[in-house]
Structures are given as C-alpha cells and as structure tokens.
Amino acid sequence: MLVSPLFDITLAGLLGLLIGSFLNVVIYRLPKMMERQWAAECAELNNREMPEAEPFNLMMPRSRCQKCGHPIRWYENIPVLSYLGLRGKCSVCGTPISLRYPLVELATAALFAFSVWRWGATPAALAWSAFAAAILALGLIDWDTTLLPDDITLPLLWGGLIASALQWTPIPLSTALWGAVAGYLSLWLIYWAFKLLTGKEGMGYGDFKLFAALGAWFGWSALIPIILMASVIGAIIGIAMKFSSGLREGGYVPFGPFLAMAGLTAMIFGPQSILRLIGL
C-alpha cells in the first residue's frame, strides 16, 4: 500500500523536473517573443517592413550559450544533473550558467510532488500542478521584465473556473466566478484611485488578471489573506533590496512576484492559514 503512493509522488517529481526545464525556456523566451510581436505590429502600423529574422518561439531555435553560441546538446540539458555535471559552466567557453535554472527545475519538481502527495494521483493533483507551474513562470517573468503575459494569466484564470466546474478544487463555481470578478475589480479600483491621487501608475493590468486568476482558484474569501501575504512579502523584500542597493532604476519593484508567492503559499498551507502566518 505504501509503494504505490511513493511511486506516484516520485513520478510526479520527475515530471516536475522536465516541466521545470521547459519553464526555464518559457521564462526566457516568451517576453522576447512578445517584444518581437510588438515590433512587428508597430512596423505594420508605420508601413515599414521588418527585416527577416530566424524563427524564434518556444521550440526554435535550439537552446545555446548566450556568449559563444554553443548549441546545447541533449545530454547538457538534463534537468539538474547536467548543471552539476557541467559544474555550472558552458562546456565550450566556461561562461557561468545561472543557478536559477536548476532551482526552477527543483522547485517545480517539489510542487508537483507536493500536489500528488496532497491530492493523490487525481485530476485535482494535475490541476494544482498546472497552477503551480503557471504561477512560478509568471512570478519570474514579471521579476525579470515587469510583464505578466496574457498567454499565461488568462489560461490560468480559465483553468481555475474549469477546475471548479469539474470539482477538481473544493471551490464552488459561483464562488470561483465571483472570486475572479472581485480579484480583478479590487486591484483595478486601487490602480485608478492611486493614479487619480498621484498621477502615477502603481501597477499594471497584468496584476489585475493574476489576482483574478487567484480568485478563481481560491474563491473570493481568500483574496484578503492573499493580498495581505503579498503585501507583507513585498514590503520585506523591498526594504531588503533598498538597504542592499538592489532596487532597479526608479526604485520600482513589480507586484506580480509577490502575488505569485502568496498564491503558492495559499496552495500549500491554505488561504486562511496565511492570516496565522502573518500574525492576524
């Protein structure tokens, strides 16, 4: 009886390693794909022709070293193991490989294994694994680029509603629907209140969509604990970055990564436990 659950959890962790490797590609390439699309649209509006460029998407071209252009061979792309085997460096030019690559793979593996440990080998575990992968990608993309792509936020929102309708989450569909509405409108109202008072934009529309997605997955009653957790995490990291001179130009810190961290906290511990974690 103990072998089967352990096997399922191990298999989920291995799948998570593979998905984590793919997430590294998504995190790096998707923003660049968006920039290319925007450039093409601007050129079309101005009746300019874009110079021909090699295909660039999630599949092409092959991954390569950013410095020397060395194509990554299949055995140099095995999650975690290749990083350890290469000692964190390109096999040709010796350029250091970011530690974040294996960390993303390990984090995804841990989240997938947790999902199967908690929900068993069920559609619910599959749904929450997908949720975790999307949230992880969004948080890191936003941290790098201050972008929250619709290509991920909108499927995440719809995924929450569909998972609720199929009873893969404990949230009734009506609660999930109003959670999505409340999540979007609450940050939209805060955005406009801040803009009217200061003349500045305090956040982007991607934050509204991400919070709406979290409302769809956890229900409207979870929104306050999640936004409180995100605010606490953001304040702690923002203060630490300020004292360490780590703030980017303009002192801007994107809010999406903190929403993502709060969403993962809600997934692991439950939304209401967040209030206990922050002492409320």
pLDDT digits (tens, 9 = 90+) for 155-185: 999 999 999 999 999 999 999 999 999 999 9
Round to whole Å and give the CA distance between 133 and 264.
10
Contact between 208 and 215 (Cβ < 8 Å): no
Round to whole Å and give the CA distance between 235 and 267.
21
198-230 burial by CB neighbour count: b if 16+ within 10 A, else e? eeeebbbebbbbbbbbbbbbbbbebbebbbbbb
pLDDT tens-digit series, residues 217-230: 999 999 999 999 99
For the whole prediction, is pTM greater than 0.85?
yes
Domain boundaries, the chain: 1-120, 122-280
Instruction: Please tell me the predicted confidence (pLDDT) of residue 249.
Output: 63
Round to whole Å and give the CA distance between 133 and 136.
5
Tell me what the pLDDT averaged over the chain comes to.
90
Instruction: Please tell me the predicted confidence (pLDDT) of residue 4.
Output: 81
Residue type, 63: S
Instruction: Please tell me the predicted confidence (pLDDT) of residue 2.
Output: 47
Round to whole Å and give the CA distance between 145 and 79.
24
Q: 121 pLDDT band (50/70/90 cuts)?
A: very high
From residue 117, alpha-carbon distances to 127, 133, 179 in Å are 14, 16, 27
pLDDT tens-digit series, residues 189-241: 999 998 888 888 878 899 999 999 999 999 999 999 999 999 988 888 888 87
Range list of H helices, the chain: 3-45, 81-85, 100-119, 123-145, 150-165, 173-198, 205-218, 223-243, 256-269, 271-277
User: What SS3 state is found at 71?
Assistant: strand
